[in-house]
Amino acid sequence: MQIAGLSFTTTHTDTALRSNTSAPAERRITPTTKGPDILARTRVYIRDIELGGNRFVVIAGPCAIESETQIHDAAALVAAHGAHILRGGAFKARTSPYTFQGLGLDGVKLMREAADRQHMPMITEVLSERDIEGMVDIVDAFQVGSRNMDNTALLKELGQTKKPVLLKRGFAATIKEWLLAAEYIIVGGNDQVVLCERGIRTFSNETRFTLDLAGAVLARQQTHLPVIVDPSHATGNPSLIPALAAATMAAGLDGLMVEVHPDPTVALSDADQALSPELYRGMMEQLHLLATVMGRPLT
Ligand code: PEP
Ligand code: MN
């Protein structure tokens, strides 16, 4: 059996995947026998925002939804300088259980109001399949975080929904493992999957993670899915984010996810990596210039 270009011996342990091999070949993220250019690129729609087309899509917002005022201010800020989709975490997968864990479903609702006020779609992370039901009618897209990339129960359940899924690469995952995680969602019947490279763990400790830009380009070559980059978690350093955002566009990828906070000095999570309003505005100005050269609409 071949899925995502990988060979498997068929055993009783892969029954779930085997039962889906009846899914049409074009549903698979990589053609099994032909080259990656054979199939048309999948267009993913987060409401009216298309990913995988010519437009370079910017997803921006705070790491976490902290309060009504904060998410409204953040939404107004990112909208003012041209972001297309609002991001923000309500269920947070923090490294330490003693840090802010997010506002949960109340946070999702606050974010919905803030996004609506700016006429933007919104995306937020789902940590557990238990939360899908409560979130599905509120959110425009689900995010699967790096720490959950191989949570197959969650992936399978998201495959049953009709909402787009942004699948972050596990920070210790190979490209093949990342693509197979995407395949879990797709074989369930949901082809609206966007891949997001957010940095992997290497021996380098000067940045929070190491952005695998080549891996992101490779994932786009090997699949028909849109691929975006998150330089915020990849670097943990706001001063590096604008340069890597430009590199992402120059590499021909489909978009960007960045963390922006109205006042990073008071942010409750990932404060050290949040773009200030000034840095965010500068980054967007630079992207607009580059977009002209690259022939990539940004507005
Ligand atoms: C996030 O985007 O808020 C996040 C937690 O990212 P990651 O899963 O990439 O660490
Ligand atoms: Mn974060």
What confidence score (pLDDT) does residue 93 get?
87
- 190 CB-side CA count, 13 A: 23
Residue 13 is predicted with a pLDDT of 34
Mutate to test the pocket of ligand 1, among 94, 122, 143 (most ligand atoms within 8 A of CB): 143
Distance 244 CA to ligand 1 centre (A): 17
Tens-digit pLDDT profile for residues 115-152:
999 999 999 999 999 999 999 999 999 999 999 999 99
* CA dist., res. 293 & res. 60, Å (int): 23
> What confidence tier does 29 reach under pLDDT thresholds 50, 70, 90?
low
What pLDDT is recorded for position 241?
98
Tell me the pTM: 0.91
**Which residues are registered as beta bridge partners of 64?**
89
User: Residue 60 domain-assigned?
Assistant: yes
3-state helix vs strand vs coil in the chain, percent to 5? 40, 15, 45
Ligand 1 site, residue 169, Cβ cutoff 6 A: no
pLDDT digits (tens, 9 = 90+) for 36-51: 554 588 999 999 999 9
- Is pLDDT of 210 > 90? yes
**Residue 169 belongs to a domain:** yes
* 162-194 pLDDT tens trace: 999 999 999 999 999 999 999 999 999 999 999
Instruction: Work out the percent of the chain whose per-residue pLDDT is above 90.
Output: 85
Q: Residue 12: is its pLDDT beyond 50? A: no
The residue whose C-alpha atom lies closest to atom 9 belonging to ligand 1 is: 146
CATH number at residue 165: 3.20.20.70
Q: Is the CB of 112 under 6 A from ligand 1?
A: no
- Does the beta carbon of 63 lie inside 6 Å of ligand 1? yes
Residues 225-275: tens digit of each pLDDT:
999 999 999 999 999 999 999 999 999 999 999 999 999 999 999 999 999
What is the 3-class SS of 180-235, one letter each residue?
Answer: HHHHHHHHCCCCCEEEEECCECCCCCCCCCECCHHHHHHHHHHCCCCEEECHHHHH
Does 2 reside within a domain?
A: no
Asked whether 201 lines ligand 1 (CB < 6 A), one says no
- In this prediction, residue 276 has a pLDDT band, given cuts at 50, 70 and 90, of very high
Whether 247 is in a domain gets the answer: yes
Residue 279 inside a domain? The answer is yes
Please report whether residue 211 resides in a domain.
Answer: yes
Q: How far, in Å, is the centroid of ligand 1 from the Cα of 86?
A: 14
The domain total for the chain is 1
> Is 6 domain-assigned?
no
Does the beta carbon of 89 sit less than 6 angstroms from any atom of ligand 1?
yes
Task: Report yes or no on 233 lying in a domain.
Answer: yes
Range of the domain at 129: 34-294
Is it the case that residue 10 has pLDDT exceeding 60? Answer: no
pLDDT, tens only, 190-208: 999 999 999 999 999 999 9
Task: Name the percent of the chain lying above pLDDT 70.
Answer: 87
Q: Ligand 1: which residue has its CA nearest to atom 10?
A: 146
Pairing assessment for the beta strands 122-125 and 85-87 based on DSSP bridges: parallel
pLDDT confidence of residue 24? 54
Angle of helix 152-159 relative to helix 175-187, nearest 10 degrees?
A: 40
Q: Is the dihedral of CA 119, 107, 168, 274 positive or negative?
A: positive
